[in-house]
Amino acid sequence: MLNFNQITMTEQEWSNVLDQIENNKGKWIETTEYMYEHFFGCVPPLKFKIDGFINSEPYSHAENGVWYFEFSKRNGKFYGRLTLIKYKLKSSIV
């Protein structure tokens, strides 16, 4: 478990990784354990996966869905991306 009293990313490093994630929606970007744990602990996850989670706070809304931060841990490395969860539209009877 990460010790949050020990800062592992500078503000500039944090900003750089977030910029990469935001500018490459849908593409996995390598990040740090600190960022992974931060997003895991700030709000309850929307969805758990075997190797990660989707943060429940929306990043932004799109015409066809909502963008969320998603994080994964694979082979000892940490990754983040923006993932689009599409709206499920129900047809209406007229």
The domain containing residue 71 runs over which residues?
11-86
Q: For residue 62, tell me if it sits in a domain.
A: yes
Q: For residue 94, tell me if it sits in a domain.
A: no
56-94 tens-digit pLDDT: 999 999 888 999 999 999 999 999 999 999 988 766 665
pLDDT for 8: 73
Q: For residue 59, tell me if it sits in a domain.
A: yes
Query: The pTM is what?
Result: 0.82
CA pair distance 29, 71, nearest whole angstrom: 9
Residue 72: closest CA among 94, 50, 46: 50
Number of domains the chain contains: 1
Q: For residue 77, tell me if it sits in a domain.
A: yes
**What is the dihedral sign for C-alpha 39, 8, 74, 17?**
positive
Q: Is the pLDDT of residue 2 over 70?
A: no
Q: For residue 3, tell me if it sits in a domain.
A: no
Q: For residue 4, tell me if it sits in a domain.
A: no
Counting residues of the chain whose pLDDT is more than 70, the rounded percentage is 86
Q: For residue 68, tell me if it sits in a domain.
A: yes
Q: For residue 50, tell me if it sits in a domain.
A: yes
